Structure 1
Amino acid sequence: MTKLNQILAVEKGVKSDVQRKVTDAYHQIQKAPLLSGISRTYQPIDDEGEQLPPESTRVQVQADEVLKGVGVALARLFDVTATKDWANCEARADVVVDGTVLLEQVPVTYLLFLEKQLTDVYTLVSKLPTLDPAETWSRDEATDTWRTDPVKTTRTKKVPRNHVLAEATDKHPAQVQVYNEDIVVGYWTKVNFSGALPQRRVNELLARVQKLQDAVKYAREEANGTEVVDKKVGERVFAYLFA
């Protein structure tokens, strides 16, 4: 008994073969000389005249035969595709994750859709921003975001000071050097907030996606093991078309 995965294995080859044959047929019927023939004989006006040999060209391509060949080739493709599509209506399998059935009796076509979508989901999750591991983060209930522990820093202000290099005398004024001194005038308390995710959460999500991807692939393989009934529709179609 033929299985769906066997039909899928030969489908690509059948398509390529049919495409080549149909293309060849198209080119053949475009070449008028191949479809044309001629026969010429010569008879002199009297027995003394020059005798010339007959000339002939045979028809090399017959449109009916080309159509017949195309019909045979396409009928094979029609049969393979029909067998696959009819089987796809019946091919189903459960998606099982950790021993639990997540999705029941999923059609194989939908499993293929899931595979593609989960690839996109994995890409998205892998690009999620993560919290800076150099900081200590905790959940802030008020803002529903992540926050760091408060860090207190000082705010300083430059205040000019005088440094007497030499005291004043009755002959000379005092020599004074002006300099700036940093004086603490206040304190900053800084807290960072972030909407990113902890790396462990991203890793957990990636693992979940991978696990579901594997489950979908297993289900697809199981569904593709469904036995199929060979469909013979091509002959009927082309018996009508090229009758």
Structure 2
Amino acid sequence: MAKLNQILAVEKGVKASSQRAVTDAYHTIQKAPLLSGLSRTYQPIDDEGEQLPPESTRVQVKGEQVLADVAKALTRLFDVTATKDWANCAAKANVVVDGEVLLEEVPVTFLLFLEKQLADLHTFIAKLPTLDPAETWTLDDNAEAWRADAVKTTRTKKVPRNHVLAEATDKHPAQVQVYNEDIVVGYWTKVAFSGALPARRVNELLARVQKLQDAVKYAREEANGHVVDDQEVGARLFRYLLA
């Protein structure tokens, strides 16, 4: 008897070797000369005629033997795959986080699914937008968003002014320079809102996902240590197929 993780370790190699054997058999059976043979002898019409040696070509590939070789290769693949799939029905483990059982008797196939989903979720959470640390944020229940401290700025307006460079005389008009002066006419009060998350919250979520990822990996390893019963289905299948 073996453990599920041992079956998983050999499955890939068995699959590759069986596929290679079937492919080789397919190409071999297509080569007509290898399946052909002949035997011929020569008999002169009289005793004084030229004697020629017999000729023969041996059949190198026999269809039944090719079928037997393919059956042998596929039987191993069928048995290994069946053993894995039968074991997957029984291989289960608990997902434990901080000493608490979060999920009970989880099948190994779902643990594999969950492991991939959590990896994707970790990537998603890591890319969540966070609040600008340069601002001070407060959760605003009315806006259902984060609110930054109010920032007050002025609004100005350009007002033309005259600057007398030279007073008017009886001979010359006054020399006046026109310029614009910025005059405060009001105040802006800006309050920024954000739907982003505090960095602390994102880090907490990442830590939770990481902890669950570890728990799922431990559970998968435990489930893969399940002792399996070897399944021998290939021989029965090919006894019917090649009868």
Q: Do the two structures share a fold, i.e. TM-score over 0.5?
A: yes
Please, what is the CA RMSD of the aligned residues? 0.8
Matched, 1:15 2:15: yes
Matched, 1:197 2:197: yes
Cα offset for 1:131?
Answer: 1.0
Cα offset for 1:173?
Answer: 0.8
Counterpart of 1:222 in structure 2 is 222
Counterpart of 2:40 in structure 1 is 40
3-state DSSP of counterpart to 1:173: coil
Counterpart of 1:161 in structure 2 is 161
Q: How many residues align?
A: 243
Q: Distance in 2 between matches of 1:200 and 1:45?
A: 107
Counterpart of 1:141 in structure 2 is 141
Counterpart of 1:131 in structure 2 is 131
Cα offset for 1:48?
Answer: 2.0
Query: In the alignment, residue 151 of structure 2 is paired with which amino acid?
Result: V
Q: Distance in 1 between matches of 2:49 and 2:143?
A: 115
3-state DSSP of counterpart to 2:2: coil
The percent identity for this pair of structures is 80
Question: TM-score of the superposition, structure 1-length normalised?
Answer: 0.98
Deviations 1:57-99 (A, max 9, x none): 1000001011111111111111111111111100000000111
3-state DSSP of counterpart to 1:177: strand
Q: Distance in 2 between matches of 1:142 and 1:201?
A: 21
Counterpart of 2:29 in structure 1 is 29
Deviations 1:19-68 (A, max 9, x none): 11111111111111111101111111112222222111100000101111
Q: Distance in 2 between matches of 1:178 and 1:83?
A: 96
3-state DSSP of counterpart to 2:28: helix
Counterpart of 2:53 in structure 1 is 53
3-state DSSP of counterpart to 2:49: coil
Counterpart of 1:174 in structure 2 is 174
Q: Distance in 2 between matches of 1:119 and 1:50?
A: 84
Tell me, which stretches of 5 or more residues in structure 2 are unaligned? none
Tell me, which stretches of 5 or more residues in structure 1 are unaligned? none
Cα offset for 1:237?
Answer: 0.4
3-state DSSP of counterpart to 1:103: strand
